[in-house]
Amino acid sequence: MNENKVVILSIGDEILIGQIVNTNAVWMAEKLNESGFNVVSIQTAGDTYSSIWNSLDYAKSLASLILVTGGLGPTKDDITKKVVADFFNSELVIHEDVLTHVESFFQRRGRVLTDLNRLQAMIPHNCIAIPNSQGTAPGMYFIQDEKHFVFMPGVPFEMQGIMESWVIPQMKAIIPVDTIVQKTVLTHGMGESFLADKISLWEDNLPENISLAYLPSPGKVRLRLRGKNTTMEEIDKQISELGLLIPDYIFGFDNDSLELVVGKLLNENNFTLAIAESCTGGYLSHLITEVPGSSTYFLGSVIAYSNDIKSSVLGVDSLLIQKYGAVSQEVALQMAENTKRKFNSDFALATTGIAGPDGGSIDKPVGTVWIALAGPNGILSKKFQFGDHRLRNISLSANSALNMLRLSILKEYMPNQR
C-alpha cells in the first residue's frame, strides 16, 4: 500500500549541477511530515523530456501523491508543461481565469504584459488550476490511476504559498494521514556518539509509537522526538526523563538558539554583557546582536585580533603575552577581566585561539581555544581543542562561549531551572 506515501520531484538542471541547493524539497518534506504524510522519496529530474517523463512514471509506482516543482516558467528551458500535457493525454490551452490573474498581476505592478508572459495562462485542458497569489504560474492538479499529481512553480515563496493554502489542506481531506506530534531537544557540548551512549537506555524504553532521530551539527546535536497518534503530553513526559540524564547539555527546544536562550537569561536577571574577541573575529557579537532587543543587555565588544590591541585597548599585560602566548589561559582571563571593568558590565566573555588553517604548533595545534568568563562572583576559563577547520572553529568557539555563560547563570542564579 502506498496510500499515504509521497514523492517530491524537483525539476531543473541547476540542481543537478550544484548551481543551487534544493531548499524546496527540504521545506516540503518538513511540512509534509509535520502534517502526517509519509515522504518516501525525494528525486531530481533534468530539464529534458525523457528525464521528466521517466521520473513521473517512476514516482507513480512509489506513492499516491506526487508533488513536483520547477519548469513552469515561460522560457524555452521550461518544458515541464509540454511533458505534463503528453503524460496526461492533454493539450495546452489558454485558461481564462489564469489569464485574468496574470493580466491583473502585471497591471497591479505597472508592468507591460508580453506575449511570453501570456503563455503562463496556457495549461493542460484536463487539469485543475491551482491559484498562485504570489506569482503568475498556476499550480496544476491531476488524478491518474488513483494517484494525485500536483505541479508547482520552483520559486520558493510561490511554492510555499500553494503548499500551505491548497496542497496540504486539500490532500489531507483526500488522503488518510497520521496524527503527528513532534518536538526537538537542542543539546550542546556532547558529540553524537557519546550522547547516544549516555541516553541509550532511555532511548530503548521509548514507546513504540515515538521515534528518535539524531540531527548532529558542529558542537550541537538535535534530538527530534516524533510521535504517531499520541499526544504532546506523552512527548513532554519522555523529554522530562531525558532532562534528568543530561541536564547541563539541553539548552532549548525546537527553534531556540543559544544566543536567544542566553539573551533571555540575561534579560530575566537584568544582567549586562560585554565581549572581547580574538579568534572569533566578531562572530560572537554577531550572534548576540541577531536577537531582537539585545541592546537591553549587550553593551558592546572589542575585536582585539592583534597582540598590540590586546595590550593597548584591553590592557592585557604584554609580558603575559610574551611569556605564555596570546592563546593562553592567562591572556584569556585578563581579556575577560579587563573587558568587564572597561564596560562596567555584569559579565564579560573573551575568546582567544588558533582558528587555522595555519599558525599552530606542537604545544598549541590548530583548533586550540581558550574562553574566559568574568562575572559578578569571579572568573573562570576553559580550554577547547576543536580541530583544523577554520570556519567550524570560529562557530564552535562562539557557541561554546555562549554555553559557558548560559551554564554559569543557571548554576549561580537560577538553579531551579536547570
Residue 314 to residues 298, 306, 376, Cα–Cα distance (Å): 18, 11, 19
Q: Edge-to-edge strand order for the sheet containing 347-353?
A: 298-303, 273-277, 347-353, 368-375, 378-385
Task: For residue 247, give the CATH number of its domain.
Answer: 3.30.70.2860
Are residues 389 and 270 part of one domain? yes
Distance CA 225, CA 184 (A): 6
Chain segment 379-411, per-residue pLDDT in tens? 999 999 999 999 999 999 999 999 999 999 999
DSSP per position, 251-302: EEETT--HHHHHHHHHHHTT--EEEEESTTTTHHHHHHHTSTTGGGTEEEEE
Give the SS3 label for residue 340.
helix
Chain segment 278-320, per-residue pLDDT in tens? 999 999 999 999 999 999 999 999 999 999 999 999 999 999 9
The pLDDT value given to residue 286: 98
- Cα dihedral 348, 277, 398, 189, rounded to 10, equals -60
Are residues 410 and 347 part of one domain? yes
The pairing of strands 273-277 and 298-303 is parallel
Residue with cell 512553480: 153
Other CB atoms within 10 Å distance of the CB of residue 410: 18
Task: For residue 329, give the CATH number of its domain.
Answer: 3.90.950.20
Beta bridge mates, 187: 221, 250
The pLDDT value given to residue 330: 98
Distance CA 223, CA 250 (A): 10
Are residues 412 and 263 part of one domain? yes
The pLDDT value given to residue 2: 56
The pLDDT value given to residue 277: 98
Domain boundary pick from 147, 174, 201 = 174
Are residues 298 and 165 part of one domain? no
Beta bridge mates, 214: 223
Are residues 302 and 217 part of one domain? no
Are residues 170 and 74 part of one domain? yes
Distance CA 277, CA 378 (A): 20
Tally of structural domains, the chain: 3
Residue with cell 493554502: 165
Are residues 135 and 88 part of one domain? yes
Distance CA 360, CA 8 (A): 46
Beta bridge mates, 10: 44, 69
The pLDDT value given to residue 114: 79
Are the C-beta atoms of 123 and 93 separated by less than 8 Å? yes
Are residues 278 and 241 part of one domain? no
Domain boundary pick from 206, 227, 253 = 253
Q: In which residue ranges of the chain is pLDDT below 50?
A: 1
Distance CA 67, CA 315 (A): 61
Domain boundary pick from 190, 220, 253 = 253
Distance CA 102, CA 74 (A): 12
Residue with cell 489531507: 172
Are residues 334 and 231 part of one domain? no
Give the domain range for residue 249.
180-253
Are the C-beta atoms of 88 and 124 separated by less than 8 Å? yes
Average pLDDT, the chain: 94
The three grid cell numbers given for residue 368, joined into one nine-digit string = 586550540
- Cα dihedral 105, 96, 66, 29, rounded to 10, equals 20
Residue with cell 595545534: 365
The pLDDT value given to residue 1: 47
Beta bridge mates, 68: 9, 151
Cis link prior to 156 (omega < 30° from 0)? Answer: no
Task: For residue 108, give the CATH number of its domain.
Answer: 3.40.980.10
Are residues 386 and 278 part of one domain? yes
Are the C-beta atoms of 47 and 77 separated by less than 8 Å? yes
Q: State the pTM of this model.
A: 0.81
The pLDDT value given to residue 77: 66
Are residues 206 and 164 part of one domain? no
Are residues 284 and 247 part of one domain? no
